[in-house]
Amino acid sequence: MQERRIRTDRVPRHVAIIMDGNGRWAEARGLERNEGHWAGLESVRAVVRAAHEIGIGVLTLFAFSSENWSRPKGEVQELMRLLDHYIEEELDEVMRNGIRVLTLGRLDRIPPNTRKKVEDAVARSAENREMILVFAVSYGGRSEIVDAARKLMRDAEAGKLDPERLDEKTFAAYLYQPELPDPDLLIRTGDESRVSNFLLWQIAYTEIYTTDLMWPDFRKGHLVDAILDYQSRERRFGLTSAQVGSGRGGGRTEPV
Ligand code: FPP
């Protein structure tokens, strides 16, 4: 296989992934949908490892959306079990690799045993500095914005915030994980081109990469494809090309 090289000075700091297509992957093989989710867990393992090797700073995985609560009960239970299982099986490796675990979403809705496991992982890994792995669980972008607005209104009522001084930076400080940088790259598998209520505030200037691969087929090489595609783009943030300079040529590269 031809050697591929990633530009080390333009590795996306934050990659977010909508892991879509588990159900269709399973159905195409005459399997139960839940078997697709279990197969998707292998991709999660591979991609977390790969992200760490590549030097990505933050990896956010959309594990369960607010809307997913309306799926059949058996599927919801299985998805919770999967999260449980991932933490049980992978936490040692996560710790060895210096990865910090964080969550994003309304965790109060998830079963107490799963919640406890997730919270323990967050607490145990709190001092890790090599990479941040964020599980978006029971997460919806609109709910996040509404929750932020609620907290903000309470602060305004308490006289801690002057509505006239509210700006984007102040608002963003009320989101679930305000210290994280916005995603540079959003990957969506499963041959769909939708944002599906994911990180609505944070993806204002995120580069979006979609692929027709179903999530259980996604591996390191596909993450590299997405990063190389990202590195070929010019991010202008509303400015002109001349203002931002190309930034696309040159730079140090590393084989992957
Ligand atoms: C979308 O596929 C995927 C999900 C709703 C869940 C994602 C969960 C995993 C990949 C399992 C492991 C996760 C963690 C973080 C431990 P879909 O069911 O909507 O697929 P479809 O569109 O083909 O029906």
Looking at the structure of the chain, the number of domains it has is 1
CATH number at residue 19: 3.40.1180.10
Helix, strand, coil shares of the chain, percent, nearest 5, are 45, 15, 35
Whether 162 sits among the annotated catalytic residues: the reply is no
Neighbours of 78 (CB within 10 A): 18
Whether residue 158 is contained in a domain is answered as yes
pLDDT at 215 over 80: yes
194 φ, ψ (degrees, to nearest 5)? -130, 160
Whether residue 240 is contained in a domain is answered as no
The two structure tokens encoding residue 190 = 């499963």
pLDDT at 249 over 90: no
Its pTM stands at 0.95
Whether residue 71 is contained in a domain is answered as yes
Give me the mean pLDDT over the 112-136 stretch.
97
Residue among 68, 97, 128, 197 flagged as catalytic:
68
Whether residue 241 is contained in a domain is answered as no
Q: Which mutation among 22, 75, 78 tests ligand 1's pocket best, with the greatest number of atoms within 8 A of CB?
A: 22
Give the residue numbers spanning the domain of 96. Answer: 14-230
Q: Which long-range CB contacts under 8 A does 89-93 form with residues at least 24 apart?
A: 90/45, 90/48, 91/121, 91/124, 91/125, 93/49
pLDDT at 83 over 90: yes
- Separation CA 204–CA 171 (nearest Å): 14
Q: What percent of the chain has pLDDT over 90?
A: 89
- The three-class DSSP label of residue 175 is coil
Whether 197 sits among the annotated catalytic residues: the reply is no
